[in-house]
Structure 1
Amino acid sequence: MARVVPATGIGEVADRVRARRGGHLTPLDEALLHSEPFADGWNTLLGAVRSNMDLPGELRELAICRVADLNSAEYEWRAHAPLALREGMSAEQVAALRDGADSTPLTPRQLLVRDYTDAMTRTVSVDDELSNRLHSELGTQQFVELTGTIAAYNMVSRFLVALHVGQQRQTEESEVTA
């Protein structure tokens, strides 16, 4: 059960969140709206991460799903695994993002992104060789965008897990978390 009751979802900030979400609020939004300044900043940041960058959607969702799995944020996983499929990943590739799963279905580029996501999430520090390989593969803009996406979704997953957000709705598979 969630550790905070849902906020009312009334006001300008809630309206901006609804506008980004296509007219509805998620349990995550209902938790964030207990602090309107925080919810407003979150909405702006995650809106940019989700829809205003050049990073390919497949790599964005790969990183988000991997972060969700590593941080045991099942609500986030359930929201983003279907998005990874819509962005072109196969079901086998998405399954390979689970910790300890067979990584054979992943392409070399996907493995590189997975390894970078693992380093940022598990140890924070990324070794130079891995960082340089990924930077070379993606170019500076996408490298920065991927790094920001991983950092942002570590924030999302930690918020979700700490406050038990979405646990009461574990059967809903299609909600978007951030």
Structure 2
Amino acid sequence: MARIPYADPTAPEHEAAAAHIVASRKKLGHLHRMLLHSPPVAMGWIEMYDAVRRKTLLSGKLRELAMCQVAAINGADYEWAAHAPIALQEGATQAQLDALPDWSASEAFDATERAALALCDAMTRHVHVPEEVFAAARAVLPERELVELVVTIAGYNCVSRVLEALGINGADKLA
């Protein structure tokens, strides 16, 4: 159960931000309804995450594996439920998703995926990335994609923290 009520998208102060979200996402989900409490934050959120999800060169598969790994590490079930199906659509396998908790012991991932997951683990669990972990990611990704991966990992750590702090779990009915 969410810790505060979801914002009313029909309230005059929320209408523009709600319309902006719907124009991008086609619907107002639980997270978006909560973000409407701050229309400028809601609109900025959509702009940033649209850039991360739709305007990067980073492969969709790598992006979604990183998002799922962040969700798994942070125990963000709502985030996992949202991104696991997208990961499968982007080319990840169910075996890869199942192996994420112990990915380093799995043979389901190629060298690029392993480097990305190591970077994801370091950023999510420790914030500070060891030089050897960063060097491994840098060796397999062009600079633009490396920056995009870092921003994706950081951004989806933000998502899981917002979801968990506000108690957004998708089970709540939206009026």
Where structure 1 has 5 or more consecutive residues not aligned to the other structure, the ranges are: 170-178
Structure with greater proportional helix content: 2
Superposition CA RMSD, Å: 1.2
Q: For residues 48 and 57 of structure 2, what CA distance do their matches in structure 1 show?
A: 15
Q: Is the 8 A contact 1:68 1:74 kept in 2?
A: yes
Secondary structure at the counterpart of residue 96 of structure 1: helix
Shift of 1:167: 4.5
Match status 1:83 vs 2:86: yes
* AA in 2 matched with 1:21: R
Spell out the pairing of 1:25-64 with structure 2 (5 A cutoff). Answer: 25-64=28-67
User: What residue in structure 2 maps to residue 118 of structure 1?
Assistant: 121
Deviation sequence 1:94-119 (CA, Å, 0-9, x none): 1111x246522122221111111000
Deviation sequence 1:14-41 (CA, Å, 0-9, x none): 101011112x100000110001111111
User: What residue in structure 1 maps to residue 139 of structure 2?
Assistant: 136
1:14 equivalent among 12, 18, 40: 18
Secondary structure at the counterpart of residue 83 of structure 2: helix
Could you say which structure has the larger radius of gyration? 2
Scaled by the length of structure 1, the TM-score of the pair is: 0.90
User: What residue in structure 2 maps to residue 95 of structure 1?
Assistant: 98
Residues 167/60 of structure 1: CA separation in 2 closer, same or farther (3 Å cut): same
Where structure 2 has 5 or more consecutive residues not aligned to the other structure, the ranges are: none
* AA in 1 matched with 2:24: R
User: What residue in structure 2 maps to residue 72 of structure 1?
Assistant: 75
Spell out the pairing of 1:131-170 with structure 2 (5 A cutoff). Answer: 131-168=134-171
Identity value in percent: 42
- Residue correspondences, number: 167
Secondary structure at the counterpart of residue 128 of structure 2: coil
Q: Which has the higher contact order (CA 8 A, sep 6+)?
A: 1
User: What residue in structure 2 maps to residue 3 of structure 1?
Assistant: 3
Q: Is the 8 A contact 1:2 1:168 kept in 2?
A: no
Q: Is the 8 A contact 2:30 2:170 kept in 1?
A: no
**Where does structure 1 differ by over 3 angstroms across 4 or more consecutive aligned residues?**
none
